[in-house]
């Protein structure tokens, strides 16, 4: 019997998250409850994360261009640096590292906020007042993350590519025209869409997993800390898995 | 008031993000924000063209490939978007040229002298394709195939057919022959050394004083021969003068030789001498009277 309990554990956890997702979907029509709060969460998740996103993207772009330049062997045209920098930043590093960084900054915050509300019985109080806590607390965070992650990723892509350009022409022997030629080579607008799709999926994952862990926190302050750590780990792993899945599904359409 | 500020901030960030995404995509896709104008070209299948490939005029970038459509007649209908103000002379052929070593290609116009220029919607002249990396790779592939078949044939002949063993045996025989030749050469060398030693001994045995006197005698004889030759020469000249005198008819000898009257006299004298001898033989007592006592 105990074996069956243990064996069914993972499925049980998946099922609980499924119910949680169903509750979120069910709360979506109640926009009057989460409308105003959504804007506030967009500010917290999106606007306040712009500086951190830009800093991370700038270093990503600079390092990508610099390392790419010095990996090239003789005879390779230098415009390849622009091409590789663009593809690396837009297709992979921009959305992925932005999501991972925001997992620590935004996801941990969501879990801690909701967990604290749970252990201090504020969520129970909302239920007592006939508020749907999912609509009021979780849906605004999920919507805000789904909207703002792509916006932040656009900033990350632009800053990353721009910093790659600056690094190339300032710190290496690449001419601006060479970098630009590679930057524009074989570009397809779907590459931007691909990046935004990834960011949307990552935003949903961050808000969903972190909200779930915070919403179901228990055992006081210690439980909140444990839930926060668990949320960050699960979300990080989920982002990497989703990154691979989206690449498998969408990469064939990237051909220019 | 705070909610209003949040609204504005969020709205600004979203709008800026969207503008960056749209303008950035357009800029990357078009090679700039200039709309430019389209030209059309047809290239053969397998040209390797793809959207975004650069368009050059003598190597200077003037636009990009904005669309490539497959045609069942063996061509690719290619739309070239020219974003530069650089005029492209009409009748300038467009050629697909290699761009780097990774198989990328570009479209290059080779300018021709013309006052007219390509305008919006023109179909450009397609030039002959330049051999690119793909063609070179194909060539290398064919060479590799030939080398592989050659190797296979050599393997068959030399290894499977026992040629290698024969070659080994030949080499062994050659080594043996060389060893024998070396032994012969060593023997010959010894004999040659002995011959040289004998020759050296013989040379040292020759008396140089005798050789000197012999050479001196030869030199004297040569001098004598020279004076003899001089004497013969003067003798010859004297004889020539005598012969000339005889020929000229002056002198006794010349007259003896040249005067016919003398010849006739001599002839009649000889006739009478014959008659006299005959008479003497016939009547010896008339002429010879021997008396003893």
Q: How far is A187 from chain B (nearest CA, A)?
A: 6
**How many Cβ contacts (< 8 angstroms) between chains A and B?**
85
Q: Using a CB cutoff of 8 Å and minimum separation of 24, what contacts does A29-34 make?
A: A30/A132, A30/A135, A30/A139, A33/A131, A33/A132, A33/A135, A33/A136, A33/A139, A34/A135, A34/A136, A34/A139, A34/A140, A34/A143
- Nearest CB partner across the interface for B9, out of A43, A181, A183: A43
Q: In Å, what is the CA distance from A79 to each residue of A72, A255, B60, B95, B97?
A: 11, 19, 14, 21, 16
Residues of A in contact with B21 (CB under 8 A): 154, 192, 196
Average pLDDT estimate for A232-254: 92
The pLDDT assigned to A147 comes to 94
The pLDDT assigned to A248 comes to 92
Confidence of residue B101 (pLDDT cuts 50, 70, 90): low
The pLDDT assigned to A155 comes to 95
**Cβ of A208 under 8 Å from any chain B Cβ?**
no
Confidence of residue A231 (pLDDT cuts 50, 70, 90): very high
- Nearest CB partner across the interface for B20, out of A76, A79, A154: A154
The pLDDT assigned to B31 comes to 66
Q: Do A158 and B20 touch (CB under 8 A)?
A: yes
Using only the alpha carbons of chain A, give its radius of gyration.
Answer: 21
User: How many beta carbons lie within 10 A of that of residue B249, not counting itself?
Assistant: 11
Nearest to B32 by CA among B60, B56, B52: B52
Q: Do A75 and B29 touch (CB under 8 A)?
A: no
Q: Do A186 and B28 touch (CB under 8 A)?
A: no
Does B1 have pLDDT greater than 50? no
Using only the alpha carbons of chain B, give its radius of gyration.
Answer: 61
Tell me if the pTM is above 0.95.
no
Q: Do A76 and B31 touch (CB under 8 A)?
A: no
Q: Which residue of B has its CA nearest to A184?
A: B28
Where are the strands (E) in A40-143, listed by range? none
Q: In Å, what is the CA distance from B28 to each residue of A100, A180, A217?
A: 27, 9, 47
Query: In the numeric block, which tokens belong to residue A154?
Result: 């656009």
Residue B106 three-state SS: strand
**The length of chain B, given as a count of residues:** 293
- Say if residues A240 and A99 touch (Cβ distance below 8 Å): no
Residues of A in contact with B13 (CB under 8 A): 46-47, 50, 148, 151
Residues of A in contact with B60 (CB under 8 A): none
Does A210 have pLDDT greater than 90? yes
Q: How far is A84 from chain B (nearest CA, A)?
A: 13
Count the helix, strand and coil residues of chain B and give each as a percent rounded to the nearest 5: 60, 15, 25
Query: In the numeric block, which tokens belong to residue A59?
Result: 């270093």
Residues in B lying within 8 Å of A, measured between beta carbons: 3, 6-7, 9-10, 13-14, 17-18, 20-21, 24-25, 28-29, 31, 50-54, 61, 64, 99-102, 104
- Nearest CB partner across the interface for A151, out of B14, B25, B61: B14
Q: Is the ipTM beyond the 0.85 threshold? A: no
**Cβ of A182 under 8 Å from any chain B Cβ?**
no
The pLDDT assigned to B44 comes to 82
Q: Do A187 and B54 touch (CB under 8 A)?
A: no
Q: How far is B140 from chain A (nearest CA, A)?
A: 19
Q: Which residue of A has its CA nearest to B27?
A: A184
- Of A100-114, A221-235, B115-129, the poorest mean pLDDT is in B115-129
- Residue by residue, DSSP assigns A178-199 as HHHHHHHTT--THHHHHHHHHH
**Cβ of A177 under 8 Å from any chain B Cβ?**
yes
**The CA-based dihedral angle spanning residues A249, A252, A253, A254, taken in that order and rounded to the nearest 10 degrees:** 110
For A84-112, write each residue's pLDDT tens digit. 999 999 999 999 999 999 999 999 999 99
Does A239 have pLDDT greater than 90? yes
Q: How far is B62 from chain A (nearest CA, A)?
A: 11
Q: In Å, what is the CA distance from B38 to each residue of B64, B66, B121, B122?
A: 10, 8, 6, 8
For B237-267, write each residue's pLDDT tens digit. 988 888 888 777 777 777 777 778 877 888 8
User: How many beta carbons lie within 10 A of that of residue B125, not counting itself?
Assistant: 17
Q: Which of B43-57, B79-93, B169-183: highest mean pLDDT? A: B169-183
Query: In the numeric block, which tokens belong to residue B284?
Result: 């010896």
Residue identified by tokens 């013969």 is B232
Chain B interface mutation, best of A187, A190, A195, highest count of B Cβ atoms under 10 Å: A187
| C-alpha of B213 from chain center | 59
Nearest to A231 by CA among A219, A220, A243, A215: A215
**How far apart, in Å, do the first and last CA atoms of chain A sit?**
56
Per-domain boundaries in chain A: 35-254
Q: Do A181 and B101 touch (CB under 8 A)?
A: no
Residues of B in contact with A177 (CB under 8 A): 61
Residue B7 vs residue A248, higher pLDDT: A248
The pLDDT assigned to A101 comes to 94
């Amino acid at each position: 019997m105990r074996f069956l309990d243990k064996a069914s554990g993972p499925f049980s956890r998946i099922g609980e998250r499924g119910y949680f997702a169903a509750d979120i979907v069910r709360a979506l029509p109640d926009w009057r409850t989460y409308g105003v709060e959504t804007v506030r969460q967009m500010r917290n998740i999106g606007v306040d994360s712009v500086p951190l996103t830009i800093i991370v993207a700038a270093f990503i772009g600079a390092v990508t261009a610099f390392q790419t330049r010095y990996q090239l062997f003789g005879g390779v045209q230098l415009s390849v640096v622009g091409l590789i920098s663009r593809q690396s930043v837009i297709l992979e590093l921009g959305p992925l590292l932005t999501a991972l960084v925001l997992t620590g900054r935004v996801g941990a915050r969501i879990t801690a906020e909701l967990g604290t509300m749970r252990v201090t019985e504020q969520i129970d109080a909302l239920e007592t007042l006939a508020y749907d806590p999912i609509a009021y607390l979780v849906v605004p965070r999920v919507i805000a993350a789904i909207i703002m992650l792509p916006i932040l990723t656009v900033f990350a892509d632009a800053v990353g590519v721009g910093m790659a350009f600056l690094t190339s022409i300032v710190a290496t022997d690449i001419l601006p025209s060479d970098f630009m030629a590679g930057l524009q080579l074989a570009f397809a607008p779907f590459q931007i869409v691909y990046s935004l799709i990834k960011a949307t999926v990552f935003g949903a994952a961050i808000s969903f997993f972190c909200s779930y862990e915070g919403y179901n926190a228990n055992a006081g302050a210690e439980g909140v800390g444990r839930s926060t750590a668990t949320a960050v780990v699960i979300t990080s792993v989920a982002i990497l898995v989703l990154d691979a899945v989206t690449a498998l599904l969408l990469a064939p359409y990237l051909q220019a | 008031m705070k909610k209003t500020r949040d609204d504005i901030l969020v709205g600004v960030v979203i709008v800026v993000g969207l503008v960056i995404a749209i303008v950035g995509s357009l800029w990357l896709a078009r090679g700039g924000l200039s709309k430019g104008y389209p030209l059309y070209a047809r290239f053969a299948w397998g040209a390797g063209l793809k959207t975004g490939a650069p368009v050059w005029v003598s190597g200077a970038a003037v636009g990009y490939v904005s669309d490539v459509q497959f045609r069942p007649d063996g061509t690719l209908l290619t739309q070239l978007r020219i974003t530069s103000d650089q005029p492209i002379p009409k009748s300038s052929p467009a050629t697909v040229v290699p761009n780097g070593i990774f198989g990328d290609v570009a479209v290059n116009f080779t300018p021709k002298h013309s006052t007219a220029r390509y305008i919006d919607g023109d179909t450009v002249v397609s030039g002959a394709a330049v051999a690119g990396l793909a063609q070179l790779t194909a060539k290398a592939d064919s060479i590799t195939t030939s080398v592989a078949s050659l190797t296979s044939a050599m393997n068959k002949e030399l290894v499977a057919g026992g040629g290698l063993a024969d070659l080994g045996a030949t080499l062994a025989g050659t080594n043996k022959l060389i060893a024998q030749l070396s032994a012969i050469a060593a023997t010959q060398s010894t004999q040659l050394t002995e011959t040289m030693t004998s020759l050296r001994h013989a040379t040292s045995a020759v008396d140089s004083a005798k050789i000197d006197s012999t050479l001196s005698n030869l030199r004297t004889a040569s001098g004598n021969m020279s004076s003899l030759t001089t004497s013969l020469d003067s003798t010859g000249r004297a004889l020539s003068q005598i012969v000339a005198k005889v020929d000229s008819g002056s002198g006794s000898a010349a007259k003896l030789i040249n005067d016919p009257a003398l010849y006739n006299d001599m002839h009649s004298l000889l006739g009478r001498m014959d008659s006299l001898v005959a008479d003497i033989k016939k009547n010896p007592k008339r002429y010879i009277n021997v008396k003893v006592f």
